[in-house]
Amino acid sequence: MKTADLSYLGFGQTAVPININKIRLIEEAIHNKEGRLTDTGALSVNTGKYTGRSPEDRFIVDNAASHDIVEWGEVNKPFDQDKFDKLYKKVIDYLNPKHLYVYDGFAGADRVYRMPLRVVTDKAYQNLFVNNLFITPPMNQGIHPEFTVIAAPFFKCVPEVDGTNSEAAVIIDFDKRVVLVVGTQYCGEIKKSIFSIMNYRLPRYNVLPMHCSANMSDDGRTALFFGLSGTGKTTLSADPNRRLIGDDEHGWSENGVFNFEGGCYAKCINLKRELEPEIWDAIKTGAVVENVVYDEEGHADFDDTTFTENTRVGYPLNYISNAVIPSVGNNPDTIIFLTADAFGVLPPISKLEKNQAMFHFVSGYTSKLAGTERGVTEPETTFSTCFGAPFLPLPAGQYADLLGKKIEENDCDVYLVNTGWIGGKYGTGERIKLPYTRAMVNAAVNGKLKDVKYVHDDIFNVDVPTSCPGVPSEILNAREQWKDKDEYDKTAKELAQAFIDNIQKYDNLSEEIKSAGPTID
């Protein structure tokens, strides 16, 4: 078995085994009391206090590699280099006497643009997780890691000494090419730290990093699906008639689309086999399940939110029967932006030209529903830059310009699909039926909306088809679904104004992009 000399990182250990096989990792995790086996053979773990990402604890070291490049602000908070170096030494000293696990692999299925990476941790279950989520090379292939993640889930920072926000921290140093993930057991922090690095790294090669899912037809026609949580990104991209390239993170190069990952990190809340059979069947030996409630016999209750609603499972792509492996696709000919508009005013589907697409890409709109968070009593507009604000180190304009360039080069059709409400706001209207949304998406990706008649929506400044196979034509006109047309107009203009106000905060966008969104007379 290959071993790693970790002395270059400051460790005293010079022969740590690399990429231990999964069965042994499971055995060691159970022996170490990190988790337990379920009735399906998956490893169940509880991540304690942190059951999701902790945005307030994420930092980027302010140094020569980042100072003039990173878009500093609430998302990308600067961390002092001297404080990082001192904290780094404390973490290494903490881990040095422990039994360590090393994983070597790649982020990126495209051999030209993939990034070699290393993850060092003292927990077997985290090693198993990254083995599932990243792309593992053959046993005889050595790599030279470009970035290293050092994870110490039980190390606790001292904010007043270490300069962190709490006992937990995720800190990226683009100069030293290392990430500290400390004080949190949640595996998603490791996954998303690598995604942030890819978002920093790839634009210099004219590759667009994307927070989206992707699938393709048997004849190679590729589609991208962008959307925030609750918009249907995973559901709509999981099409039995198309092959899954990936469910979350991709790059778009001149060669086509490629998955950053070698696995999936799926939500388990309210999981039912009849609705999501691919995820259900993937929870088997080798999978890592986080924060799901299991009984003494190892049976799961996926509806139980005792630990969190953000229950998760990590598993390799080859657990999905129709996955594309290696996970690469052609240049896409269709892009779908998904939004769940709880105000009930956006058209169920509309077509976007290039600047409109760049506008909605940067906006990353959906709406937060009443009752989903304490104090939320009415639908609230939610904007997330490029559908992935927490993971974007660079200014939004750089990603938007890349998207516009690739849409133009590949003559892509771009659609905005509202998976939310029609006939009124949340509480008075009704959610668009999923079969109708599926029919719209299928028509879009199969080129059946290219030659239909369109009408212009003057408020949202988009073109709306008057017909779509499998969808009643009256459904396509959002305004006509409202009984009170004056109330529709009022609500639509309020949402349009929110779009206009949001886009103004992006100083680095061209006026052509800013003016391509909704308008109010």
Distance CA 3, CA 15 (A): 5
Contact between residue 107 and residue 260 where contact means Cβ atoms under 8 Å apart: yes
Residue 322 parent element (H or E): none
| 63, 301, 411 from 26: Cα distances, Å | 39, 22, 47
The helix/strand/coil state of 89 is: helix
**Cβ contact 379:426 at 8 Å:** yes
Greatest Cα pair distance, the chain, in angstroms, is 72
DSSP helix/strand/coil, 85: helix
Q: Cα(447)–Cα(456) distance, rounded to whole angstroms?
A: 20
| Measured torsion, CA atoms of residues 112, 113, 116, 121, in degrees rounded to the nearest 10 | -150
The C-alpha angle with vertex 114 and arms to 238 and 75, in degrees rounded to 5, equals 75
* Contact residues for 211 (Cβ-Cβ < 8 A; gap 6+): 195, 226, 248, 249, 386, 387, 388, 391
- Beta-carbon contacts of residue 352 (< 8 Å; ≥ 6 apart): 337, 360, 414, 415, 416, 462, 463
CA-based angle 322:142:61, to the nearest 5? 90
Q: Which of 193, 8, 172 is nearest to 81 (CA)?
A: 172
**CA atoms of 137 and 118, how far apart (whole Å):** 12
Give the H or E element holding residue 414. strand 413-418
DSSP class of residue 138?
A: P
Q: How far apart are CA 425 and CA 429, in angstroms?
A: 5
Rounded CA gap, 177 and 195, in Å? 14
What is the residue whose two structure tokens read 């490629």? 258
Residue 158 host element (H or E): none
* 3-class secondary structure per residue, 315-363: EEHHHCCCECCCCEECCCCEEEEEECCCCCCCCCEEEECHHHHHHHHHH
Contact 391, 179 (CB under 8 A): no
Task: Give the β-pairing of 263-267 and 256-259.
Answer: unpaired
Three-state secondary structure call for residue 101: strand
Active site residues: 53, 192, 211, 229, 233-234, 248, 312
C-alpha 178/C-alpha 87 separation (Å) is: 13
Answer for the pair 279, 249: CB distance below 8 angstroms, yes or no: no
CB 446 within 8 A of CB 475: no
